[in-house]
Amino acid sequence: MLRSLAIVAVLMSAATEGAVLPSADSVRGQRIFSDQSCIQCHSINGQGAKTGPDLGRRIDRNYTPAMLVSFMWNHAPTMWAAMEARGIGRPALDEQAAADLFAYFYSARFFDKLGDAGRGKQAFATNHCARCHGIAEVKAGAPKPVAQWQSLGSPIDLAEAMWNHAANMRQEFAKQRIRWPDLTSRDLSDILVYVRNLRETQHVAGRLETAGAEGGEALFQSKGCAGCHTGKLELRPRLRGKTLSDIAVEMWNHAPKMAQPPPRLERDDMRRIVSYLWGEQLLTQNGNPARGKQVFSGKSCAACHNDPASGAPSLSGRKTGFSTVSMVATLWRHGPQMLEQMKRKNIAWPRFTAEQMSDLIAFLNAGE
């Protein structure tokens, strides 16, 4: 059964609303993607229409939330025109719905880096995976072969399995005098692409089976993580902007550095812990307010938002409340009216890079 990743994220809504959004849930996001007609143009990993790009298989992966917002913003007039021509109503997205959509995209690994099977085959060999793990056959004294790994469908599932077997693997590495291999997120993405596309593993379906973050904080305490990860070792800032593969690799690389054997994680424990720690970082971007001020001016935002006669709300003096979520919600709620007003003023629709979007959000949150 397909179940999307539910990520709890403490998010601020748009400054015009001032409310706190309690959660971003990709299960709801998956429904919104269908119910709000996104699926009539776009698909996620092949599920949906082909008019627009597949948002789960874009070839220029390593997207950030800010890049996704800038992509949506830049193409909004074209999307609105296409929807009008096809008689599709525009989605009614508030901050909660936008947050849920982002969580759904995250669960579909939209923000992950693209893997390469050729590099993966090499990484599987050079990092000594092949010395113990056969593809279809069981090697002498070794665990079950890769073709029997049910964790291939998700980096977090795989990381949980790797974490739980870390103590045994350390002993085996020491016995064979093999240095513990540090992996990069690209290594893991490449290895996963390689092993998932082998003839022997074709039966292992990719999936998004997950649990939410409920109980994640309690697990973080009960497993002893909180005793070490405080102060400079606090994990939230370290996980800022990390993808699923990034997190899985961090866990793998960290295991042999622990003084005590890693605590065993039961099914879905790692998801709950990772969701608890990472959720509130999901939509946080590090921007530069000074550069954002230049974006605000250079993209003609000030032409309306600093002109009371325009009817646009003033954005100065409003500290916090702006995020990638609120920018998406504002785009879909007020964008068409903004476009018409800009046409009347002969102002071109602004286009942003991901960095410019992050900087603009930082400037707006500075409340200058």
Alpha helices in 13-61, H assignment, sequence order? 26-35
Instruction: Supply the angle between the helices 269-278 and 155-164 in degrees, to the nearest 10.
Output: 120
For residue 8, pLDDT beyond 60 = no
Question: For tokens 């530069």, what's the residue?
Answer: 288
Q: What span, in angstroms and rounded, lies between the C-alpha atoms of 102 and 68?
A: 9
DSSP string, 253-293: HHGGG-SSPPPP--TTHHHHHHHHHHGGGTT-----HHHHH
Q: What is the pLDDT of residue 241?
A: 64
The pTM assigned to this predicted structure is 0.64
Q: Distance (Å, rounded) from C-alpha 97 to C-alpha 91? A: 10
Q: What is the mean pLDDT of the chain?
A: 76
Is pLDDT at 57 greater than 60 in this prediction?
Answer: no
Confidence of residue 294 (pLDDT cuts 50, 70, 90): very high
The pLDDT score that the predictor gives to residue 58 is 46
Q: CA-CA distance, 92 to 103, in Å (whole number)? A: 17
Most confident option among 6-10, 230-234, 260-264: 230-234
Token digits for 38? 């996104």
Distance CA 289, CA 303 (A): 19
Half-sphere exposure of residue 171: CA atoms within 13 angstroms, side-chain side: 5
Residue the block writes with tokens 């500290």: 319
Rounded mean pLDDT, 9-13: 33
**Whether the predicted pLDDT of 282 surpasses 60:** no
93, 332 Cβ separation under 8 angstroms: yes
Mean pLDDT within 254-269: 80
Is the model more confident about 99 or about 2?
A: 99
141-189 pLDDT, tens digit per residue, is 667 788 888 777 666 677 788 788 887 888 888 888 888 888 888 888 8
How do residues 108-140 score in pLDDT, each as one tens digit?
655 556 678 899 899 998 988 888 888 888 776
Q: What pLDDT score does 352 carry?
A: 94
- Ranges of each domain in the chain: 6-108+284-366, 117-207+244-264
Residue 43: strand pairing partners: 48, 54
What average pLDDT does this structure show over 258-277? 76
Res 65: pLDDT: 77
The CB density around residue 89, as the number of other CB atoms within 10 Å, is 9
pLDDT reported for residue 63: 62
3-state helix, strand, coil in the chain (%, to 5): 55, 5, 40
Question: CA 278, CA 149: separation in Å to the nearest integer?
Answer: 26
Candidates 107, 102, 110, 106; CA nearest to 323 is 102
Q: Please, which residues have CB within 8 angstroms of residue 149's CB and are 6 or more apart in sequence?
A: 158, 161, 195, 204
Joined together, the tokens standing for residue 281 give: 């970082």
- Which are the contacts of 106, defined by CB distance < 8 A and separation ≥ 6? 5, 7, 26, 244, 282
Under the banding of pLDDT at 50, 70 and 90, the label for residue 203 is low
Q: Which of 109, 96, 253, 115 is nearest to 186 (CA)?
A: 115
To the nearest 10°, the Cα dihedral for 227, 23, 252, 258? 0
